[in-house]
Amino acid sequence: MTLTVALTIALLLVVTGMALALADGGVTSEDDADVTVVPEGTGTISTVDGVEGPQLGATNERAETIGDADEIDHASPVLIERVRLASADGDGEPRTILVVGVVPDDDPRTVAGLSTDGLEPADPHYGDGTYDGPRQREIVLSTAAADRLGATEGESLAVAGLEVPEAAAASSAVTVTAVENGPDDDENEAPVALVHLSELQTASGAADGELADRVLVWGDEDAAVDAAGEAYPDAAVETDRATDPSALFDDGLAFATSLLALLVGLTICTSFVATTAGMTVDEDRRTLAVLESIGFPTHSRLVVVGLSTVVTTLCGALLGAGLGVASIELLNVVAASTVASGTVAQAHPLFVPYAVVVGVVSGLVAVPYPLAIAARTSVLQEVGR
Partner 1 sequence: MFGRSRRPTAGTRAHDCEESTPAVRLEGVGHEYGAGGDRSVTALRDVSLSVRTGEVVGLKGPSGSGKSTILHAVAGLLVPTEGTVALLGTDLTDRSDRTRTRLRRHHVGIVFQRFHLLPSLSARANVALPLVQTGVGRSNRRDRAEKLLEEVGLADRTTHLPGELSGGERQRVALARALAADPDVIVADEPTGELDTATGSDVLELLTDVGRDGGRAVLVASHDEATLSVADRVVPLRDGRVVTDGG
C-alpha–C-alpha distance, residues 31 and 214, integer Å: 12
Smallest separation, CB 278 to partner 1 (Å): 20
C-alpha–C-alpha distance, residues 221 and 36, integer Å: 10
Smallest separation, CB 371 to partner 1 (Å): 17
Q: Which residues bind partner 1 (CB under 8 A)?
A: 286-287, 289-298, 300, 379-380, 383-385
Smallest separation, CB 248 to partner 1 (Å): 42
C-alpha–C-alpha distance, residues 137 and 129, integer Å: 18
The residue among 256 and 311 lying less far from partner 1, judged by its C-beta, is 311
CB 200 within 8 Å of CB 79: yes
| Helices within the chain (DSSP H only) | 2-24, 42-49, 59-68, 143-149, 166-170, 197-204, 221-231, 247-250, 252-283, 285-293, 298-337, 351-366, 368-375, 379-383
Smallest separation, CB 378 to partner 1 (Å): 10
The residue among 213 and 292 lying less far from partner 1, judged by its C-beta, is 292
The residue among 181 and 298 lying less far from partner 1, judged by its C-beta, is 298
The residue among 243 and 287 lying less far from partner 1, judged by its C-beta, is 287
Smallest separation, CB 306 to partner 1 (Å): 17
The residue among 267 and 300 lying less far from partner 1, judged by its C-beta, is 300
Characterise 128 by phi-psi region: left (phi > 0), alpha (psi -120 to 50), beta (else). left
For residue 271, CA distances in Å to 1, 245, 296 come to 11, 27, 29
The residue among 311 and 357 lying less far from partner 1, judged by its C-beta, is 311
Smallest separation, CB 283 to partner 1 (Å): 12
